[in-house]
Structure 1
């Protein structure tokens, strides 16, 4: 398979998760895939890095006893340095909204690849929390990830030649979990800016509970995100594709220039 697309496949749910298997099987049909994924669940660790990690062989490649960002660095620097692309996922649970991007281990693996100048795709599945079955007990079969894997493989095959990665450094892809095997449309999106984090203090035991209210609002379709945002696309049954860049943006402006110019070192 020397002429085929070569993929470093990672995730944050762990190398033995159903979503990872779904992506591995989908890509293995046409690409040279090397798994470099966490040995266990590393969800929501962001771009946390380790000083050193243990690596064990796995039937698909390597299990790394570390974070998703560790996996990208270890893979691109030591285990499979000549791959064409990094694909991270498929995460069980959506990674939607600007505020989520820095928390997600799945997205962070793609961000880490961008600093190596390697194109990357982060792939997640939105699992609705409605009905009698908790969302955590859903998406337990590879077939449940079919719309996510279809979108991911299509983009991996076609995005480089189309020039997508000349403008974007990575793609954040979120697919809906919907019935039927027919195609689900793709939509180019921007990350939602809606933020619903709250913190409630319990005066009796000193505990403070943090809560993200977005998920309840998504279940009720009670959110203000307009068309063109990632959250709106997924809730309405489309695959969200957000083209993103990794470095933090900077915007120089007169207020800070004046403040810096007036500094004299005194308190």
Structure 2
């Protein structure tokens, strides 16, 4: 595909440096239309709105809504019909099975898949508390390069006949080896909660585990790739369904 139409969104908001890095990096790959949340909508999952105000922005359109709203609005109302939807670059990684339903970045890609449009969710791993600080523009370079590569090589070679969308995570810039690995989402889960007075504090302990030298859970998981400084690409399907099981039929029949 010589010049694909690209719908670009994110969950960090239209003023985040990550979406600007992708808008600049993809501008000579195809026709880019930006429809992104007007402000930060991180971790809203697949939340949607029935109505959202839209404002013109130097990058495109700022929508007072969620990432899923942006995809629907971009496909149906604000932009040309896209050949691919890209979400990101997210400030912080989106790794593991359990984040797939939480992440606004990944949820935007899932929504595109339901429209039958190939999609890529791209995130940048920032260890420790670095995800709370704004990365420098050049720190997004490898994440942008990987996204470009997957668009240029993936749309024409049948990649999206094998996967509905791709969850891409780039390692911390200082640890990257400019290699790419096809992965599966990690199944590791380690959330805890503590009650203190009127407050409940929720803690995701996996990020601390990833910073240990001894961390290992198998080379084909997305987390292991990031720990080793490799770009992780997880090909995923949008429908969340199980295979047919006779035992479930029996259970229903006995009701």
Bin of the TM-score, shorter chain as denominator length: over 0.9
Residue 153 of structure 2 corresponds to 158
Residue 82 of structure 1 corresponds to 81
- Output aligned runs, 1:1-267, within 5 Å: 4-129=3-128, 134-136=129-131, 138-179=133-174, 184-202=178-196, 205-263=197-255
Partner Cα distance (1:155, 1:59) in 2: 26
Give, in angstroms, the shift of residue 81 of structure 1.
4.1
Q: What whole-Å deviation, never above 9, does each CA across 1:211-253 have from its counterpart, x for those lacking one?
A: 1000111112454421100000011110000000000122222
Give, in angstroms, the shift of residue 47 of structure 1.
0.4
Partner Cα distance (1:120, 1:163) in 2: 13
SS of 1:162's equivalent in the other structure is coil
Q: 5+ unaligned residues in a row in structure 1: which ranges?
A: none
The TM-score, its normalising length taken from structure 2, stands at 0.95
Partner Cα distance (1:155, 1:3) in 2: 14
Misfit runs of 4+, over 3 Å: 136-139, 221-224
Partner Cα distance (1:3, 1:157) in 2: 9
The TM-score, its normalising length taken from structure 1, stands at 0.91
Q: Highest CA radius of gyration, 1 or 2?
A: 1
Q: 1:48 to 1:221 in 2, by over 3 A?
A: farther
Q: Which is further off, 23-32 or 46-55?
A: 23-32
